[in-house]
Structure 1
Amino acid sequence: MRVPFIALLLCVAVNSSFINPYPRFAKYNDGGDPGDPAFLTPLIQAGKIDKALELATVADKPFDWLKSYAGYLTVNEKYNSNMFFWYFPSESDPHHDPIVLWLQGGPGASSLFGLFTENGPFSVTESGLEPRKYSWHKNHNLIYIDNPVGTGFSFTDDDAGYAKNEKDVGRDLYEAVKQLFQLFPEFQTLDFYITGESYAGKYVPALAYKIHKTQEKYTRHGKKIPIPIKLKGIAIGNGLSDPIHQLKYGDYLYQLGLIDINARQVFHEYEAKGIDCIKKRNMNCAFEVFDELINMDELPSGSLFHNYTGYDTYFNYLKTKGDNSSDIMGKFLQTSKIRKAIHVGNMTFHDLEGENKVEEHLKQDVMDSVAPWIAELLGHYRVCIYNGQLDIIVAYPLTLGYLQRLKFPGANIYKHAPRYIWRIDGEIAGYAKEAGQLVEVLVRKAGHMAPADQPKWVFDMITRLTNGKGFS
């Protein structure tokens, strides 16, 4: 007989919510002059590109040693929806190196987290900025966008401006990217890759699919693409993309020894309920089951995972508690000096503490699938799906659960493809399979944020993707 969830909470150690790995942003109130936000769209529309570039240039300390551009792009004038971006030209050959766009997950997590803690040009310490040895801008033109609208420094003046689904996400991102390709017209001749992690397992395919279908339509009708984007591939790290086939925590946790056979049975019952909700298109029900199982965004009394294992984090099974080391970044970005430097002025920063309006509006989307989009993209572009070995929330076996069901050119090859040992400087970095346009990678000794845990190895992986180099 199924144990009622409320009874389970009374029987197992109850406690508080998970530690949020993303930085906490204190209210901006240091009394200094944060300058004015740089709204670039009116200048782009007026053809005043030089003026827009001048306004977007990040020239103030402590960023004056590195060329970069930051500001706002208006993606919906009706609702005054604006997306914040920060662009770093390649350190090697900006006129020829590929473009890489990075999108954070959440939903509602700022891409500045990736910039400062995973793959950007620098990190933040108590003493200031510290250059990152394996920054992706070493050999890529690197862009970060706070996405969707309402995330980080991005904002909208109307609730109707928030994304409700991935079509909305793709639409807004595409509008932002088109404006970037007008602001930097040299982009139109460069290869373009879309990357991200976690809930960006939805965002990345959403943008890629929007670009693909839009440009395909122009080509099919023999029309010139107004703003051509040379989309070449995507990379998704530890991505939630197809929940109906990724909702398999019980077996995984049991095999890790984190739960016993009785707890596994309870997990199986909840998973079956969640899958049934998805099949019936009852996405609120599916979200609630996911929350009760592990996510715990709206369950202060504890998820099944927390109450059975005692873990306060689900990003690395070798760590039972999270940390707040990234809060240094939160304090850093909320100073008037930094706000002025990156052209956000006194605009509100939206983090994951308290009300998360981005997730609230995307609740119907969380347990929906973008697998059909990924399958179609695999017929045209290189797709790298990678996982950190130690993740729990989007574990490697859960990712395989949907990859093995994808119907794409090369699907049969994938099922029988050899697995290559991926070595860097004599050390085993992980394992990889290749089939058609699909590249499936396990990053050894990494958790949910693989670029942060293994920066050298993931830098090698992303460079292989953008250079067209395989693992065999």
Structure 2
Amino acid sequence: MSIIFAIFKEGAPNEIPLHQYLRNLPLFSKSMKWRWVLCFLAPCLLFRSGLSQTVVKSLPGLPGDLPFYLETGYIGVGEWEDVQLFYYFVKSERSPKDDPLVLWLTGGPGCSALSAILYEIGPFTFDYDKSTRDRPALKLNEYSWTKVANIIFLDQPVGTGFSYANSWESYNINDNISAAESYEFLRKWLKLHPEFQSNPLYIAGDSYSGIIVPMLTLQVDEGNNAGLKPRMNLEGYLLGNPATNISSDRNSIVPFAHLKGLLSDELYGSAKIDCNGDYFDVNLSNAACVNDLEAVTKCLENIYEANILEPNCLLMAPKSTVGRAWDSSLIIEDRSLLLLPTPGASRVWCRSYNYLYSYIWASDKAVQDALHVREGTIEKWVRCNETLSYTYTVSDVIDIHKDLIKRGYRALIYSGDHDMVVPYVGTLAWIGTLNLTISRDWEAWFVDGQVAGYTTLYSYFPSLLTYATVKGGGHTAPEYKPKECFAMINRWFDYYYI
């Protein structure tokens, strides 16, 4: 790296990350500067940003060697491979050569793959009983989906988790770019791992990935049809609590809240009439509707939108989590009366407390070294990056779902039935517009003799779409009901009716 710096500035310190150093060069305009620099430094940049894969043998917080195969690495995408997407790959603990290969995209946009690993479907999670305020402890997740599938967890889009770019222009992204870069990543990953090219492939994700996953699945199919290599053995896709049509998703909140007893019959009836059933795109001159929705907001403001059984706590992320103690003062409790502990409760608890551990753990240099994160490539790790330069270019993917079903792919859509971010009633509504045949109507599914949710099987020969609710689940259902969601995915991968 010192040779590169010497071209421009004698004695420039080689410990400065290249992308930061080049950012300050006073050569030309931003765009011209990068074109000029890349012409001269392309070989060096490719060396700097080249493909990398490393097997991780152990992780801080988890005693001993890992009992599963974990690989981390970067794959460059885009022009000059300027965007470096970071991934975690976990082989199936059952039969890697036979089990499905899953590309998992966490939502947001901008939520790290580590969030899915630590809190949803990954092979390890936090051991809260053994964790201290400055040293989070890990434990194995007995309900990890990697017990039955090979999973690539991808930090996407760029700016998420440990993914980064060498130029600021590449951080300007949108839905179409995100899907295209994820597709390029997958093609390159499979070229590097040819032993998985014949495994059944599923594209998966939750929350905002409900927009990206169908787009990406369609690109994979079209790439196969165009003869692009490697040919992918695409079987279908799966989505949890998915954003699909942003307007209708949000418009379903008021009916859902009434259905769950969060709104009175009188208020709901008034809002339904005054707003004419439209609670999202409201005409502000409609004073009666505006007043009703203000009352609705007042009724719901103390409820955690991601799971209506929990209190709404406002999270203030720590300024610096390295070495910071786990501290409840990091949570803003502006509703102190609501959150007072009840008799017998040792302390006030909010789900946001769980998330603080990820900031402490992932920001630890020892953890980043173990994961082989490139030093200096990100300013700080955050679980969900809300500062992305992201343009929402796609607001409705229902037609893509229709297209994928017609092309013969199977799909699993599931919803935590206590999620008010993307309520299940809205998801059921758009599935109804697909005009599929109901093969098995709404009925309970069970785990250990208990109702775990309700499911419907739809068909459009030769495609099958399974819809399932997860009883008591919130937004990102496996976080709340890991056992039930593991049973669901295990059955679906094995082609059993849930």
Tell me the TM-score range normalised by the shorter chain.
0.7 to 0.9
Q: 1:227 aligns with which of 225, 230, 254?
A: 230
8 A Cα contact 1:148 1:163, kept in partner: no
Counterpart position of 1:103:
105
Q: 2:368 aligns with which of 336, 339, 342?
A: 339
Q: 1:115 aligns with which of 117, 129, 145?
A: 117
8 A Cα contact 1:193 1:466, kept in partner: no
Report the AA paired with residue 247 of structure 2. I
Counterpart-to-counterpart distance in 2, 1:271 and 1:179: 47
**Does residue 1:143 correspond to 2:152, yes or no?**
yes
* Cα distance change of structure 1 residues 144 and 423 upon mapping to structure 2, 3 Å threshold: same
Report the AA paired with residue 254 of structure 1. H
* Cα distance change of structure 1 residues 77 and 271 upon mapping to structure 2, 3 Å threshold: farther
**Does residue 1:463 correspond to 2:490, yes or no?**
yes
Counterpart-to-counterpart distance in 2, 1:151 and 1:70: 15
Counterpart position of 1:361:
390
Report the AA paired with residue 458 of structure 1. C
Secondary structure at 1:241 match in 2: coil
Counterpart position of 1:249:
253
Counterpart-to-counterpart distance in 1, 2:487 and 2:80: 43
The more displaced of 326-335 and 341-350 is: 341-350
Q: 1:272 aligns with which of 271, 278, 282?
A: 278
* Cα distance change of structure 1 residues 91 and 352 upon mapping to structure 2, 3 Å threshold: closer
Report the AA paired with residue 325 of structure 1. N
Counterpart-to-counterpart distance in 2, 1:271 and 1:106: 28
8 A Cα contact 1:74 1:82, kept in partner: yes
Give the C-alpha shift of residue 313 in structure 1. 2.0
Report the AA paired with residue 255 of structure 2. D
**Does residue 1:430 correspond to 2:453, yes or no?**
yes
8 A Cα contact 1:103 1:195, kept in partner: yes
Counterpart position of 1:451:
478
Give the C-alpha shift of residue 153 in structure 1. 1.2
* Cα distance change of structure 1 residues 303 and 466 upon mapping to structure 2, 3 Å threshold: farther
Give the alignment of 1:385-396 within 5 angstroms.
385-396=413-424
Secondary structure at 1:201 match in 2: helix
* Cα distance change of structure 1 residues 381 and 259 upon mapping to structure 2, 3 Å threshold: same
Secondary structure at 2:263 match in 1: coil
Counterpart-to-counterpart distance in 2, 1:166 and 1:56: 29
Counterpart position of 2:178:
169
C-alpha deviations, 1:296-318, integer Å up to 9, x for none? xxxxxx98765332325201111
C-alpha deviations, 1:158-211, integer Å up to 9, x for none? 454246443222210011111110121111110111221111111211211110
Counterpart-to-counterpart distance in 1, 2:361 and 2:294: 33
Give the C-alpha shift of residue 417 in structure 1. 4.2
**Does residue 1:351 correspond to 2:382, yes or no?**
yes
8 A Cα contact 1:250 1:264, kept in partner: no
Give the C-alpha shift of residue 422 in structure 1. 1.0
Counterpart-to-counterpart distance in 2, 1:303 and 1:373: 35
Instruction: Give aligned pairs, total.
Output: 392
8 A Cα contact 1:263 1:308, kept in partner: no
Report the AA paired with residue 253 of structure 1. A
RMSD in angstroms over aligned alpha carbons?
3.2
C-alpha deviations, 1:357-404, integer Å up to 9, x for none? 43x523444xx1011111111122111110111111111111112111
8 A Cα contact 1:254 1:264, kept in partner: no
Question: TM-score scaled to structure 2, two decimals?
Answer: 0.71
The more displaced of 153-162 and 196-205 is: 153-162
8 A Cα contact 2:303 2:309, kept in partner: no
Q: 2:444 aligns with which of 409, 413, 421?
A: 421
**Does residue 1:215 correspond to 2:233, yes or no?**
no
8 A Cα contact 1:102 1:145, kept in partner: yes
Q: 1:56 aligns with which of 35, 54, 57?
A: 54
Give the C-alpha shift of residue 441 in structure 1. 0.4
Counterpart-to-counterpart distance in 2, 1:314 and 1:400: 19
Counterpart-to-counterpart distance in 2, 1:230 and 1:303: 50
Q: 2:140 aligns with which of 118, 131, 143?
A: 131
Give the C-alpha shift of residue 78 in structure 1. 4.3
Counterpart-to-counterpart distance in 1, 2:79 and 2:277: 42
5+ unaligned residues in a row in structure 2: which ranges? 1-14, 20-42, 285-289, 313-349
Counterpart-to-counterpart distance in 2, 1:252 and 1:93: 41
8 A Cα contact 1:79 1:161, kept in partner: no
Give the C-alpha shift of residue 271 in structure 1. 7.0
C-alpha deviations, 1:109-154, integer Å up to 9, x for none? 1121010111101012315220000111112111100111211111
Give the C-alpha shift of residue 88 in structure 1. 0.7
Seq. identity, %: 26
Give the C-alpha shift of residue 36 in structure 1. 12
8 A Cα contact 2:84 2:158, kept in partner: yes
* Cα distance change of structure 1 residues 212 and 303 upon mapping to structure 2, 3 Å threshold: farther
8 A Cα contact 1:108 1:151, kept in partner: yes
* Cα distance change of structure 1 residues 144 and 403 upon mapping to structure 2, 3 Å threshold: same
* Cα distance change of structure 1 residues 165 and 369 upon mapping to structure 2, 3 Å threshold: farther
Indicate the structure whose relative CO is greater, using CA pairs within 8 Å and at least 6 residues apart: 1
5+ unaligned residues in a row in structure 1: which ranges? 1-32, 219-224, 278-284, 286-291, 294-301
Report the AA paired with residue 57 of structure 1. V
Counterpart-to-counterpart distance in 2, 1:461 and 1:334: 33
Report the AA paired with residue 129 of structure 1. L
Question: TM-score scaled to structure 1, two decimals?
Answer: 0.75
Give the alignment of 1:70-109 within 5 angstroms.
70-78=72-80, 80-109=82-111
